Structure 1
Amino acid sequence: MPIYELLLLLLLHFALIEAVHLCPLLGPSWPALTDLSSDAAVQTALKNITKTIDDASSAGKFSGASLSLEVFDTGSSNALLTYAHTAKEINTTLGVSKVDENTVFRIGSTSKMFPMILLLIQGGFNSLQDPISKYIPEIKVAADELLRNSTKRDNGIDYTKWNEITVGELASHLAGIARDYGILDLTEQSSLLESLGFPALPPAQIRPAACQILAAGSANPVVPTSSTPIYSNAGFQVLGYVVEALAGGEDFEKVFEKKITKPLSMSHTFYTTPNSSLGVIPSYQGEYWWDFDIGEEAPAGGIFSSAKDMSTFGRAILNSTLLPRSTTRRWLKPLSHTSSLDYAVGAPWEIISFGNERPIDLYTKSGDIGTYSCVLSLDPDHKAGFVLLGAGNNTHESLALASDLVSKSLLPALEQAAKNQAHARFAGTYALGTGNSSITITTDDGPALVVTSWVNNGTNMFPSYMALHGITDPSMLDIRLYPTGLESPGQLSFRAVIPPPLPSGIGPFTSSCITWVTVDSQVYGNVGIDEFVFNLDGKGNAVSVSPRALRTVLSKTK
């Protein structure tokens, strides 16, 4: 094809992006990234992250908090970026004098990731469908009592319906149970509460911190099961007992060490309070919160760790080091909406969606306990992530801001790096050695690989695909190849996505992206007309492509 014709086609496609309502599939637009440490776009973003956080810290945005950040990917055991900021307001007599990647922080509710993955390691994903009463005998007693006692059974306000609650509902905050039991109860500040107009409580109404409160069925529910996510630390306290039951009664701490910290060599991660010399201790209340014991709720929020160890853990999730890949894929999915359209809930993921061109979901888990905070954030589309740890005043707000700053720089760079690598590996013209068959594939300002010309045995396939998809305006035809995630040795699978013409309308019924419905909707000889397979060389670069419905293989010519 003459160069001027190719340039004209590219210009037409750039204009087409503005005219066509692109409807990408959920998931990555390009194959998995490799060698991020040498990618120019990523390196620029990492430098920008360092400068942005330095500037925010200098401007007092982090309220004197100490910070530890690591950005990581699955391609290396080394971090892409290690950043640390040490606040002036720390107790160097008890703790470290300078924060680094091995400095230990409390990670608060990010601890919930550990009982969750232990459930999956020991019981698999199917265990999430089990009733919680299967694993906790005391809860089974409460569930049976509820069924026998009509007064309790009919009272949905004062009695939790333990017979309904599954392991998965506890894991995804859909059990409807109370947030905590007997910990951080305001009865500890009874004098203050009474001065504010609350009545004094008789001893019988003060709840002890013990699981028998759950078993007795006397704890009030918050909402019905599976109605709306309601955050519950107590749910993960109970899941800690499920982990022990699955381990044949072994203590959670021993299972935690045996299944996670030792296999992953997480030497700076602790279930119980480590020596303070390993950690950063804020001057104000740091010693109190470092030593604060949350007892049986430890699986929900009591664990200590470092940025390096949490990066190791995040990398292990993305790499499916501890789980089958099919289990990881099931785990990295939302289970409920929240009232924010860009914020969903998993088990126990807090799923944040970014991007207008296509959604990029970050699977995060944040945690706070006193003067300590943590955010673990995974990007499955790009096999990368980051962890932020904070210690000091207002650390939740500080880490939320820092997470925004990191994401704003990192995600576009990862997307650009994926596009650049895909262009280098797959873009070009593919043709038969004899006959008039060829296809040209490139990238543009939109997602995925783009087909800019396509001829089979002398027939222009663009009008053919227009006819098959009911498109009458040539300017509205757009063929983009998305990776499916299916692969064989030396081969990668893609599907062509062709956005259908949108009807005129005013709302989501007429404007929603429905290409997920149309994939594989047209087959020829039991082969989808949208199915493409690239054959790769030893370096992972495409050497040929097969539009499989055409029963042909086109070799890369340039």
Structure 2
Amino acid sequence: MAGFLLGPTFQPPSGLLNSLDVRAVTANLSTSLIQAINHGHSSYGDFAADSSSISITALSTQDDQNSPLFDFHFSSPSLNQSAGSTKTVTNTSMYRIGSISKIFTVYTLLVNYGWEHWNDCIMEYLPELQDAADLNHDPSVAHVDWSKITIGDLASQLSGIGRDYSYGDLASLDIPWTEAGLPPLSPDDVPQCGGNASMPPCNRDEYFHGLLGRAPVFAPQTTPVYSNTAFRLLGYIIQAISGTRLDKLLQSSVLRPLNLTTTTYAIPTDRGSWVIPNGESGWYQDTGDETPTAGIYSSSSDLAKFGRDILLSTQLSPIETRRWMKPSSHTSGLSLSVGSPWEILRSKSKITHGRTIDLYTKSGSIGQYNSLLVISQDYGVALSIMTAGPSSAAVIEVASEMVLQTLIPTLEDQTLYEACKSLCGTYQSSDPSKNSSLTLSMDTNGLQVERWINRGVDFLAVIQAYASQTGSPFIHMILQTTNLEYPPNIQGKDVTSRRVAYRAIFEKDMSDSTGQHRIVDQSARQWSSVDTPMYGEIAYDDFVIYFDHSGVAFAIEPRVMRETLYKVDGGAGNSPHSTQVI
């Protein structure tokens, strides 16, 4: 599908909040969540949410930041007000976000230094590693070769180092493990720090002393291994590069400029907005130098705003944002890839069918807190889901499915509608004697060239005949945006408008008449056919669409024809049919 090949098919839809369909769906979603909470179950599994508080906020890049696309909150009756918890949860109520902290850590590095240090060896910034064992003299697999690991390896979970030092080590728990068949340990082998409920966090010296004794899991750049250690080291590295403590750098370069007022590096000091469930919640757990990997606090509003600011390239440039939001490696799951440190989910726009879409996500868990940040480039939407309570892990799993399975098809429909409202219609040459026209329409596959006549010739039939001769017949000619855009020069007229480059994707019939399962996906070769064939050094698939000041298309230029066609029906907006476009 088009989205599978090159990325977002259309510009994010505008005015989501004003769409009656979207508002109706989100209202129904709220009702479904309340019913699931009341009944204790949903179609996706048990939903014992009465013991867990929930905050869900979705923001669109096209709408007012103070008016969420979706906003749902449930206040558990089990909130611990004596510990400082709020009684009523809202979108500014503060949760622990666990490993979503990793996104803030990488973002802080990119905002301040871009990709300047991405390929630097981490030993340059961590003197403790320079005293580590030199693998040139120790060929065993018991030591990490730190000289082979870069900052980018840490950020993309490709360093090959272990998940943690000490944190979660069973030996630190007061349990007779020898009776379970494990060997006795010397006191030196039992961690004395860790940062969990039973031990204080390790200071830097303690941490490196223990870490350097751990074996690698894989060689660097072999396969992704989830590593909290990598982001603790990344925190030290950012401090070494900047000469500033990470908490201060985060505050000055990210939180304050983005106005993220309910996001903090340390335990918040002002009561009144905390979400603290009963029991050993983990709210007051001191994560020490583990904060870059799992210690930050935030609210559903702030987290959604942060995701939206990433989509809007508020601080990073658009190209830096696109470079960051890419997979670095794949996992054993067909639908999950890993970025820096994105957890990238692949789905269909209609859940079970439709075009392929990517959801850039990051999950987090600490104590009784579970959270999820979802960013969709296809729809220009950022979604945060936060839960707190003894059932929070199960609740966020079900809530995520309920929200995503409802919103994704709705956003897809709205995207298609918005795109058609702007683009659909017939475009003709300003010279009737040429008999040249092109019709754009919309279906579930996307924006397609339905009819293309050039100088009286059915040019779609010509392309189809050529494709059949080369063994590549197609059923749809889909237009897709390219992130190439520039203002037009309209001779003799000052029009506030813009030009956007599109490429055509020739979509094939993927059905298999033999009924056999194929290892080689027939759509996988489509990416290699972009920008071909050419005629006079311009490809058949190269189009430029002209938009007026209101975002409605008024002209299209199939560049291979060396002619601009103007819209004659199918949409409103400025249509300067007699104006020559240069």
**TM-score (structure 2 length as normaliser):** 0.86
Give every structure 1 segment of 4 or more consecutive aligned residues whose post-TM-superposition deviation is greater than 6 Å.
Answer: 472-475, 501-505
Which of 57, 60, 77 lines up with 1:70 in the alignment? 57
Which residue in the other structure is 2:325 paired with?
332
Q: Which runs of no fewer than 5 residues in structure 2 stay unpaired?
A: 41-46, 194-201, 488-497, 570-582
Instruction: Find the aligned partners of 2:504 and 2:153 in 1 and give their Cα distance.
Output: 37
Which residue in the other structure is 1:13 paired with?
none
Relative contact order higher in (CA < 8 Å, ≥ 6 apart): 1
TM-superposed CA distance for 1:370, in Å, is 0.8
CA contact (8 A) 2:354 2:444 kept: no
Matched, 1:281 2:276: yes
Which residue in the other structure is 1:253 paired with?
247
Instruction: Label 1:106 to 1:555 Cα distance change in 2 as closer, same or farther (>3 A).
Output: same
Question: Which secondary structure does the structure 1 equivalent of 2:551 belong to?
Answer: coil
TM-superposed CA distance for 1:210, in Å, is 4.3
Which residue in the other structure is 2:495 paired with?
none
Matched, 1:553 2:564: yes
Matched, 1:37 2:11: no
Instruction: Find the aligned partners of 1:475 and 1:327 in 2 and give their Cα distance.
Output: 37
* Equivalent residues in 2 for 1:367-446, closer than 5 Å: 367-433=364-430, 434-435=432-433, 436-446=435-445
More helix by share: 1
Which of 477, 480, 505 lines up with 2:478 in the alignment? 480
Matched, 1:219 2:217: no
How high is the sequence identity, in percent, across the aligned residues? 33
**Counterpart residue identity of residue 443, structure 1:** M
Instruction: Find the aligned partners of 2:231 and 2:471 in 1 and give their Cα distance.
Output: 56
Which residue in the other structure is 1:81 paired with?
70
Matched, 1:496 2:504: yes
Instruction: Find the aligned partners of 1:295 and 1:199 in 2 and give their Cα distance.
Output: 31
Which residue in the other structure is 1:50 paired with?
30
Instruction: Label 1:476 to 1:324 Cα distance change in 2 as closer, same or farther (>3 A).
Output: closer
Larger mean Cα displacement after TM superposition, 548-557 or 202-211: 202-211
Instruction: Label 1:172 to 1:425 Cα distance change in 2 as closer, same or farther (>3 A).
Output: same
Instruction: Find the aligned partners of 1:85 and 1:136 in 2 and give their Cα distance.
Output: 44
TM-superposed CA distance for 1:174, in Å, is 1.5
Instruction: Find the aligned partners of 1:214 and 1:359 in 2 and give their Cα distance.
Output: 43
Instruction: Label 1:195 to 1:281 Cα distance change in 2 as closer, same or farther (>3 A).
Output: farther
Deviations 1:427-479 (A, max 9, x none): 111111322111111112322x1112111111111221123323599995421
TM-superposed CA distance for 1:341, in Å, is 0.4
CA contact (8 A) 1:146 1:161 kept: yes
Instruction: Find the aligned partners of 2:97 and 2:168 in 1 and give their Cα distance.
Output: 17
Instruction: Find the aligned partners of 1:354 and 1:168 in 2 and give their Cα distance.
Output: 27
TM-superposed CA distance for 1:494, in Å, is 0.9
Matched, 1:243 2:238: yes
Instruction: Label 1:550 to 1:43 Cα distance change in 2 as closer, same or farther (>3 A).
Output: same
What is the count of residue pairs matched by the alignment? 528
Instruction: Label 1:465 to 1:118 Cα distance change in 2 as closer, same or farther (>3 A).
Output: same
Which residue in the other structure is 2:307 paired with?
314
Larger mean Cα displacement after TM superposition, 264-273 or 209-218: 209-218
Which residue in the other structure is 1:364 paired with?
361
Question: Which secondary structure does the structure 1 equivalent of 2:131 belong to?
Answer: helix
Instruction: Label 1:183 to 1:476 Cα distance change in 2 as closer, same or farther (>3 A).
Output: closer
Instruction: Find the aligned partners of 2:3 and 2:86 in 1 and give their Cα distance.
Output: 51
Question: Which secondary structure does the structure 1 equivalent of 2:452 belong to?
Answer: strand
Which of 139, 146, 151 lines up with 1:162 in the alignment? 146
Matched, 1:178 2:171: no
Instruction: Find the aligned partners of 2:178 and 2:263 in 1 and give their Cα distance.
Output: 41
Which of 86, 96, 106 lines up with 1:96 in the alignment? 86
Instruction: Find the aligned partners of 1:380 and 1:122 in 2 and give their Cα distance.
Output: 23
Instruction: Find the aligned partners of 1:89 and 1:188 in 2 and give their Cα distance.
Output: 30
Which of 439, 447, 450 lines up with 2:448 in the alignment? 450
Matched, 1:349 2:342: yes
Instruction: Label 1:66 to 1:241 Cα distance change in 2 as closer, same or farther (>3 A).
Output: same
Instruction: Label 1:127 to 1:285 Cα distance change in 2 as closer, same or farther (>3 A).
Output: same
Which of 176, 190, 198 lines up with 1:206 in the alignment? 190
Instruction: Label 1:498 to 1:405 Cα distance change in 2 as closer, same or farther (>3 A).
Output: same
Instruction: Label 1:487 to 1:224 Cα distance change in 2 as closer, same or farther (>3 A).
Output: same
| TM-align CA RMSD | 2.2
Instruction: Label 1:62 to 1:501 Cα distance change in 2 as closer, same or farther (>3 A).
Output: closer
Question: Which secondary structure does the structure 2 equivalent of 1:112 belong to?
Answer: helix
Larger mean Cα displacement after TM superposition, 102-111 or 70-79: 70-79
* Equivalent residues in 2 for 1:107-122, closer than 5 Å: 107-122=97-112
TM-superposed CA distance for 1:190, in Å, is 3.5
TM-superposed CA distance for 1:268, in Å, is 1.1
Instruction: Find the aligned partners of 1:323 and 1:118 in 2 and give their Cα distance.
Output: 10
Matched, 1:234 2:232: no
Q: Which runs of no fewer than 5 residues in structure 1 stay unpaired?
A: 1-20
Instruction: Label 1:463 to 1:33 Cα distance change in 2 as closer, same or farther (>3 A).
Output: same
Larger mean Cα displacement after TM superposition, 540-549 or 161-170: 161-170
TM-superposed CA distance for 1:348, in Å, is 0.8
Instruction: Find the aligned partners of 1:348 and 1:22 in 2 and give their Cα distance.
Output: 25
TM-superposed CA distance for 1:179, in Å, is 1.2
Deviations 1:273-306 (A, max 9, x none): 11354311111223xx111112111110011111
Which residue in the other structure is 2:459 paired with?
461
CA contact (8 A) 1:119 1:243 kept: yes
Instruction: Find the aligned partners of 2:359 and 2:474 in 1 and give their Cα distance.
Output: 32
CA contact (8 A) 1:25 1:482 kept: no
Matched, 1:128 2:118: yes
**TM-score (structure 1 length as normaliser):** 0.90
CA contact (8 A) 1:115 1:240 kept: yes
Instruction: Label 1:269 to 1:501 Cα distance change in 2 as closer, same or farther (>3 A).
Output: closer
Question: Which secondary structure does the structure 2 equivalent of 1:146 belong to?
Answer: coil
TM-superposed CA distance for 1:506, in Å, is 4.7
Which residue in the other structure is 1:3 paired with?
none
